[in-house]
Amino acid sequence: MQFEKILDALPEWDHFYTVDELDQRTMTLAEKYPTKVTVTVEGQSRNGHPIHVIKIGEGKRTGLFYACPHPNEPIGSLVADHLAEILCQDDELLNNLDMTFYLIKCVDPDGTKMNEGWFKGPFTVENYARNFFRPASFEQVEWSFPVDYKTLHFDSPLPETKVLMKLIEDLHPDFIYSLHNAGFGGVYAYISKDLPAWYDTLYALAKKYDLPLSLGEPEMPYAIKLADAVYKFPSIKDAYEFLAENTDKDPGQIIRAGSSSYGYSQQFCNPLTLVCELPYFYDARVDNLSSSDVIRRDAVMARLERTEKLFASLKTEYDVVAEHITHTSSLRTAVEHYFETMPDNLQAEKSYAAKSPDMEKMATVAELFDNEAVNPFYHLLLLGMVLRLLDEARAKDPRPEFDAAIDAAESIFKAHHEAVVANLDYSVIPIRKLVGMQLGAGLEALAMI
């Protein structure tokens, strides 16, 4: 690895910075290095928060790094924050990389603020779920770029997305690093070009930080595997074709969202585009490739049926009070969007699992673990959002219907949480390891352009 010295010098972090803390650190950096750092406000969020873009360097190549593309994913905010520091401190590094860096520490400040309840800990599955927020797909910065493909027509980019669109249009970046992270599991990556030499550095970094690779079920059934834990960068067109093949409904009506920065960039340039996904929590089973005693198709079908039952139960409780919720909010939009789109997505997965020859083998321990333990973890996050929405509605309109609904939702949440943690032997990954992994993966990739 080329960047061992930088990675070995990483500090320790015991929490994530809030949006306001990130802004303050950006201003302090600009004051400390006035000849090296330029900070501009390239737009505002839907709630009027400024989107700060940091420019460092005058290299021949251009790199765009942006954090919190989903607001529950703050690991990248620390990566962008620390990278800005070391680029200012290390002239040799900046000169050798020959890159002009554009860094956004938080591209979705409104949504990120809604996750700050867990940023300072305690770092437990329950606290994460109770304070979790992720927008509806069409209100996600990463998935609201314009697209026009068959019956999918989306041209309602968010103000935050427009910031990225303009940067891509103006800069024609050579490298785009969308700083995502997962919640539970292991390390995996999406990359726009087949780059085998980089895969070896990814594995070396995972070994350095003692992080498991995600070797179970892929995040998306249609993901194209390039190597262990490495997939070709997915596009909204891939999602469309998967739904077209596995449902009898119009995929454009199911997706209801836009393209990604990767898809949008193809109109202007052909950057190396990278995502390095990392979990907060892990269990040793996530990379266990030994065979289980369950056929993979059976494991997948059982998972989908459990999901259907859980969502049906939760939606029944929600429908009782939905008519009394009169306010609009990003929480409400997100919860109702998931309820609306989940049945069709589950049906598509069922159809795929029923006919895919890949499902005929025995599941590995990692695949079985993803189906039986990791997937319920992600369901808990939606349960947490439902609770938050009901609390929000009661605060605006205190009526007895909300009291009963909250009691019912709380019972479902507690029972599901108990089942999830009973099926896990999870550990919390130190933040320094996560920052080092993501920072190292990005530096090694851009060095290969």
Distance, CA of 446 to CA of 168 (rounded, Å): 17
Q: Which amino acid is residue 5, in one-letter code?
A: K
DSSP 116: G
The domain spans of the chain are 4-283+429-446, 289-425
pLDDT score recorded for residue 1: 63
Q: Which two tokens stand for residue 406?
A: 């909250």
Q: Are strands 272-277 and 188-191 parallel, antiparallel or unpaired?
A: antiparallel
Torsion over CA: 255, 258, 262, 263 (sign):
positive
* Residue that the structure tokens 């009027």 belong to: 48
CATH of the structural domain 289-425, one choice from 1.20.120, 1.10.3470, 3.30.70, 1.25.40: 1.20.120
- Which superfamily does 4-283+429-446 belong to? Zn peptidases (3.40.630.10)
Distance between CA atoms of residues 166 and 32, nearest Å: 28
Beta strand 230-232 with 188-191: parallel, antiparallel or unpaired? parallel
State the pTM of this model. 0.97
Q: Are 184 and 281 in contact (CB under 8 A)?
A: yes
Encode the chain (449 residues) as per-residue pLDDT tens digits.
Answer: 689 999 999 999 999 999 999 999 999 999 999 999 999 999 999 999 999 999 999 999 999 999 999 999 999 999 999 999 999 999 999 999 999 999 999 999 999 999 999 999 999 999 999 999 999 999 999 999 999 999 999 999 999 999 999 999 999 999 999 999 999 999 999 999 999 999 999 999 999 999 999 999 999 999 999 999 999 999 999 999 999 999 999 999 999 999 999 999 999 999 999 999 999 999 999 999 999 999 999 999 999 999 999 999 899 889 989 999 999 999 999 999 999 999 999 999 999 999 999 999 999 999 999 999 999 999 999 999 999 999 999 999 998 989 999 999 999 999 999 999 999 999 999 999 999 999 999 999 999 99
CA 387 from chain centre, in angstroms, equals 21
Could you give the CA distance from residue 257 to residue 138 in angstroms, rounded to a whole number? 4
Q: Which of 75, 19, 32, 26 is nearest to 277 (CA)?
A: 75
Domains 4-283+429-446 and 289-425 share a fold: no
CA end-to-end span of the chain: 15
Q: Give backbone dihedrals phi and psi of 64, rounded to 5 degrees, phi first.
A: -115, 115
